[in-house]
Structure 1
Amino acid sequence: MPHTTALEPPETDQWFVDSPELSEFVTTAKEIIASTNRNHTETLNILEPYFAALLQKRDWLPEHFAQPNPESGLGGGIGQWLLYRSQELTIFSLVIPPNSITPIHDHLSWGLVGLYQGKQEETVYRRLDNGELEGFAQLEIVGLYQVKRGDIYRLLPPDGDIHSVKATTVFTPSISIHVMGNDTGSILRNKYNPEQQSIQSFCSGYSNAP
């Protein structure tokens, strides 16, 4: 059965997946976040090996959270499935159908993104303007990366925070796991159109939670 509500959230924690592997990772991540005291570079350095170990484990992600979503807030049938969230940490899966591509977007938070299934092509952008002109944004491409299962990349604004991601698999979706320092699907962030040099606020939402 799909999870459409949280599983008995204790205090501020909301669980959408009942998984010992995920629970163990969340416990470790929250301890690291508390101990690094908002030093996000240190948080990423210490947390990444634990995240890499989680990506290597199989069968902890339920099938429902590995599916595309025709009503996606990101378009292209892309599923954004909330797995866990609290005040300091959000974890979700991003499921991209074959050859679909996300809008060019930012995240406005530190984070780790790791590929759980399939292959992806990530295009990373840098913003050149100072953001003073409303609705205007000038971008340049700073990297094009082929991402395979188990690969991890970091988000640490402003560097590397603007990207688009395409699934390069033929028959099955790509699935990435996002570990974020904000409630990414619930906040207003930005999507970009480099050809029109425009920027627009949007809220991607989640496929399984308000």
Structure 2
Amino acid sequence: MKNHTILEPLREDQWFIESQELRSFVAKVSEISDRTVDDRTQTLARLEPYFQELLVQQEWLPQKFAQVNPESRMGGGIGQWLLYRAKDRSVSIFSLVIPPGSTTPVHDHLAWGLIGLYKGNQEETVYRRVDNGDAQEHAQLQITEVRRLQTGDIYRLLPPDGDIHAVKTTSQSASVSIHILGNDTGCIWRHQFIPESHSVKSFRSGYSNAPCQEEEEKEHALY
């Protein structure tokens, strides 16, 4: 499988929407994550009230970032829209749009984070890996929880706790969730699991609206 290496830094912080609400939230993320760098449990606990405030405001996210994406690398028309990422790739914020009836692959995130449901309803299936990871491309998962989520609900990621899951939209319209993660989630190599065959493979989900720097460099090298 792919080597999960640290990504090269960007030239500057990247903003993909113009929103004072999001900028204020990012400032809090920076302040709190710097202050609690040695205890990510505290990071999540202190961030959650500010994240809750962001979720209840329904005007800051442009409609184009709440659309499905037929060309999604995750499949099923799932849109993964980057809203912000830090210059050092230590934080990314994005919306994940899942069409009605669609389910994400079973996947991990490899970072602390908060996920909040902005619109719609979802069912989340949480897994725990129970093998030791020694066998190449083999993974044994166990379901630990199935949760029904409504607009405004928040859940935490703190690997290994809660880090492996699959999410299905159960509402009549697409569900939109906002993710705040402690890495550049769309650009790192992470894991996609196939529980039925007890297998795992590396994947990079990418973003619907922004190439990874590594992809841009490869493309430029070809011309």
Output one character per residue of 1:94-113: Cα deviation in whole Å (capped at 9) or x when no partner.
00000000000000000000
**Which one of 83, 91, 95 corresponds to residue 89 of structure 1?**
91
Indicate the residue corresponding to 2:152 in structure 1: 150
Percent same amino acid among aligned pairs? 60
Report the residue type matching 2:41 in the other structure. Answer: T
Amino acid at match of 1:33: S
1:89, distance to aligned residue in structure 2 (A): 1.2
> How many residues get paired?
200
Map of 1:55 onto structure 2: 55
In 2, Cα distance between equivalents of 1:128 and 1:177:
29
Provide the alpha-carbon RMSD of the alignment.
1.0
Q: 1:168 aligns to what?
A: 170
Amino acid at match of 1:167: T
The whole-number CA distance in structure 1 between the counterparts of 2:37 and 2:144 is: 30
Aligned 1:120-135 pairs, distance under 5 A: 120-135=122-137
Q: What aligned pairs does 1:24-63 form with structure 2 within 5 A after superposition?
A: 24-63=24-63
- C-alpha separation between the residues in 1 aligned to 2:206 and 2:199? 22
> How many angstroms apart in 2 are the aligned matches of 1:107 and 1:81?
16
Q: 1:105 to 1:23 in 2, by over 3 A?
A: same
Distance 1:91 1:38 in 2: 21
**SS, match of residue 195 in structure 1:** helix
- Separation (CA, whole Å) in 2 of partners of 1:36 and 1:127: 27
TM-score, normalization: structure 1?
A: 0.93
Which 4+ stretches in 1 moved above 2 angstroms? none
Counterpart CA distance in 2 for 1:187 and 1:23 is: 24
- State the TM-score, normalized to the length of structure 2: 0.88
Deviation (angstroms), 1:11: 5.5
2:180 is the counterpart of 1:179: yes
Whole-angstrom CA distance in 2 between matches of 1:175 and 1:38? 31
Q: Distance in 2 between matches of 1:28 and 1:11?
A: 22
The residue number in structure 1 matching 2:217 is none
SS in 2 for 1:49: helix
Residue segments in structure 2 that go unaligned for 5+ positions in a row: 1-9, 212-223
